[in-house]
A and B are shown apart, each in its own frame.
Chain A
Amino acid sequence: MVQYVSPPLDLSFAALSDATRRGIIDQLGRGDASITSLADKFQMTLTGMKKHVQVLERAGLVVTQKVGRVRTCKLGKRGLRAEAEWIEAHRKLFEARFEALDEIISEMKQEGSDESAS
């Protein structure tokens, strides 16, 4: 796992203190979008939208990528972190389950050998 350095929390708080920026996060939660389409959706100038996206990007809430002439925005690494945490939670749960299953299996093997011995 790549270890990210989290941007300071106050950066994301500041980034999210604006209703439009919260709207952008909400929108990107439904799917990636270009700066142009976001500007249209929120009825803003391209320059205005770029500024908002920059603030979100600095806070690590949004990642942008330029392909050709289109800059696409998507939710930032929090999404990735959520995935890593989810996988880790599954691993912990199943590890605990499978350890308990190991114990039961050795009991069963014990009983099996008892039966064949008697």
Chain B
Amino acid sequence: MNQQVDSAGGAQNRTSVERKGDRELVITRTFNAPPSTVYRAWSQPELFQRWWVPKSASGVSLVSCDMDVRTGGKYRLEFGAGGSDTMAFYGKYLEVVPNERIVWTNDEGEEGAVTTVTFEEQGGKTLLNFHEVYPSKEALEEAIQGGAAALPEQLEQLDELLSSIGE
């Protein structure tokens, strides 16, 4: 089952997000600059951290950002939301081809996805393709349901509600 959601905008470059098959999420977008420029903005930590955490993600900021963007290198991003709690995302670069592609693991979870981003020249512009492959259908479902883990919670709330009103 494929679902695709496109953002509106005619002349603007559109962000397309699509679930492909059982284990993949694909995001594509065109940028008005050659691949070398887009690649630099993606691979240099001081540039990367200026856009990866958008201002609209209210309250969350990047506490630290270590990226050694080369094949075999590691990265670690730490996010904080004001308090002492930070959340870390980390992994290693499986493959780095400057101006063309970066492949990395997401090791903070049990069954993390492998992410590939490619930069493709298209008449002076760049077609960027961001592609997450989960190790199994279940892992992707888990990620989706994890985002919507409301049902068990709802059931608990329901249990509480029912016991409070007495059956």
Given contacts A16-B155, A87-B17, contact A98 B29 (CB under 8 A): yes
Measured CB to CB, the closest approach of chain A to B167, in angstroms, equals 8
CB distance from B8 to the nearest CB of A (A): 10
Interface residues of B (CB under 8 A from A): 3, 5, 7, 13, 15, 17-19, 25, 27, 29, 31-33, 37-38, 40-41, 47, 50-52, 54-57, 130, 143-145, 147-148, 151, 154-155, 158, 162, 167
A90-B25, A96-B54, A101-B51 given; A13·B158 CB < 8 A: yes
**Measured between alpha carbons, how far is A6 from B41 in the docked complex, in Å?**
43
Task: Determine which of A90, A93, A104, A112 lies in contact with B57 in the assembled complex, contact meaning CB atoms within 8 Å.
Answer: A93
Contact residues of A with B, CB < 8 Å? 1, 13, 16-17, 22, 25, 29, 78-79, 81-91, 93-106, 108-109, 112
Given contacts A93-B57, A105-B38, contact A100 B50 (CB under 8 A): yes
Chain A hits for B38, CB < 8 A? 101, 105
In the complex, are the beta carbons of A87 and B56 less than 8 A apart?
no
Partner of B15, one of A29, A85, A98: A98
Note all chain A residues with C-beta closer than 8 A to B18. 87
CB distance from B116 to the nearest CB of A (A): 15
Name A's interface SS: helix
Is there an interface contact between A108 and B41, defined as CB atoms closer than 8 Å? Answer: yes
Query: How distant is B64 from chain A, measured CB to nearest CB, in Å?
Result: 18
A-B CB proximity, top 10 nearest? A96-B54, A82-B148, A100-B51, A91-B17, A101-B51, A86-B144, A95-B15, A96-B56, A105-B33, A86-B147
Could you list 17 examples of A-B contacts with CB < 8 Å?
Answer: A25-B151, A29-B151, A78-B148, A78-B151, A81-B148, A82-B147, A83-B19, A86-B148, A87-B18, A91-B27, A94-B130, A98-B31, A100-B50, A100-B54, A102-B32, A104-B47, A108-B37
With a CB–CB cut-off of 8 A, which chain A residues contact B27?
90-91, 94
- Across the interface, B31 reaches (CB within 8 A) one of A13, A82, A105, namely A105
Q: Are A83 and B51 in contact (CB under 8 A)?
A: no
CA distance A108 to B32 in the complex (A): 12
B19: chain A residues at CB < 8 Å are 83, 87
Once A17-B162, A91-B15 are accepted as A-B contacts, the answer to whether A97 and B144 lie under 8 Å apart by CB is no
How many Å from the CB of A78 to the closest CB on chain B? 7
